[in-house]
Amino acid sequence: MPGTVSVPPDPPPRARLRSATRLAVCAAVPWFLCLWWGTSTVPVPAALPAVLILRDDVYDAPRRGWDRLVGVVVGVALTTLVLHWLPPPTASSVTSVSWAASLSFLVVLACGCAGMYLMYRGGAPNQQVLVSALVIYATALPGYARARLAESAVGIATVVLLGPLLWPPDPYRSAAAGLDTYRGELDGLLGAVAARLGAGGPPTPRGPAGDAELWLRPRTGLAAYERAARRTRLPRLYLRTPSRPPDGLEERLRFAARTALTLQYFTQELRERARTDGAAAPPVSDTSLRELAPLVRATARTVDAALRGEDSAAVAADLDRARGLDLAHRAAHPTRHDAVLRAGLHLTHEAVADHLAVRG
Confidence category of residue 85, pLDDT binned at 50, 70, 90: confident
Whether the pLDDT of residue 55 is over 50: the answer is yes
pLDDT at position 327 is: 95
Residues 228 and 294 in one domain: yes
Give residue 285's pLDDT: 42
Mean pLDDT of the 231-252 span: 63
In a domain, 1, yes or no: no
Residue ending a domain, among 137, 165, 193, is 165
The alpha-helical segments, DSSP class H, found in 8-143 are 13-37, 44-53, 61-85, 91-95, 99-118, 127-138
Number of domains in the chain: 2
* Residue 5, pLDDT score: 40
- Alpha-carbon gap, residue 23 to 122, rounded angstroms: 23
Predicted pLDDT at 302: 96
Instruction: Please report the pLDDT score of residue 2 as a whole number.
Output: 36
Residue 329 lies in a domain: yes
Q: Are residues 213 and 68 in the same domain?
A: no
Beta-ladder partners of 124: 121
Residue 233 clears pLDDT 50, i.e. is over it: no
Pair (212, 354) in one structural domain? yes
Q: Are residues 137 and 86 in the same domain?
A: yes
Q: How far apart are CA 346 and CA 322, in angstroms?
A: 9
Q: Measuring CA to CA, which residue among 294, 343, 339 is closest to residue 318?
A: 294
Helix (H, G, I), strand (E, B) or coil at 223: helix
90 located within any domain:
yes
According to the per-residue pLDDT averaged within each range, which of 83-87, 180-184, 302-306 is highest? 302-306
- Name, of 5-14, 168-177, 331-340, the range with top average pLDDT: 331-340
For the chain, give the mean pLDDT: 81
244 and 342, same domain (yes or no)? yes
Burial class from Cβ neighbours inside 10 Å (0-12, 13-18, 19+) for residue 280 reads exposed
Do the domain assignments include residue 3? no
pLDDT at residue number 4:
39
Domain end point (choices 165, 180, 196): 165
Q: Tell me, yes or no, whether 157 and 188 share the same domain.
A: no
Q: What is the three-class DSSP state of 182?
A: helix
Each residue of 326-357: pLDDT tens digit? 999 999 999 888 899 899 999 999 999 999 99
The closest of 71, 55, 52 to 3, measured between CA atoms, is: 55
Which backbone phi and psi does 110 adopt, to 5 degrees? -65, -45
End-of-domain residue from the set 122, 142, 165: 165
Q: Where are the beta strands (DSSP E) in the chain?
A: none
| Most confident option among 37-41, 52-56, 229-233, 317-321 | 317-321
Angstrom distance (rounded) from CA 98 to CA 89: 9
Specify which of 80-94, 225-239, 285-299, 326-340 reaches the highest per-range mean pLDDT.
Answer: 326-340
The pLDDT, as a whole number, for residue 104 is: 83
* pLDDT for residue 97 is more than 60: no
Class of residue 187 by CB neighbours under 10 A (exposed 0-12, middle 13-18, buried 19+): middle
Per the model's pLDDT, the better-predicted residue between 169 and 270 turns out to be: 270
pLDDT of residue 314: 93
Q: Residue 17 has what pLDDT?
A: 86
Q: Buried (b) or exposed (e) across 192-223, using 16+ Cβ within 10 A?
A: ebbebbbeebbbbeeeeeebeebbbbbbbbbb
Rounded CA-CA distance 130/74 in Å is 9
Same domain assignment for residues 155 and 219: no
Question: What is the span of the domain harbouring residue 17?
Answer: 13-165
359 vs 345: CA distance, rounded Å: 21
Specify the pLDDT at position 163.
Answer: 82
Q: How far apart are CA 169 and CA 165, in angstroms?
A: 10
191 and 152 inside one domain: no
pLDDT of residue 331: 93
Assign 206 a pLDDT band (cuts: 50, 70, 90).
Answer: low
Mean pLDDT score, 259-282: 77
Write down the pTM of the prediction: 0.66
Provide the residue type at 105 as one letter. F
Write the CA distances from 217 to 6, 100, 153, 210, 306, integer angstroms.
7, 52, 34, 14, 17
User: What span, in angstroms and rounded, lies between the C-alpha atoms of 227 and 63?
Assistant: 12
Is there a single domain that holds both residue 313 and residue 176? Answer: yes
- Kindly state the average pLDDT of the residues 12-23: 82
178 and 289 within one domain? yes
Convert the pLDDT of each residue in 280-321 to its tens digit. 444 444 688 888 999 999 999 999 999 999 999 999 999 999
Same domain, 62 and 198: no
Question: Is residue 5 situated within a structural domain?
Answer: no
In-domain check, residue 119: yes
Predicted pLDDT at 91: 53
pLDDT at 36 over 70: yes
Is there a single domain that holds both residue 232 and residue 91?
no
- Per mean pLDDT, which of 84-93, 141-150, 253-262, 287-296 is the most reliable? 253-262
Give percent of the chain with pLDDT exceeding 70.
79
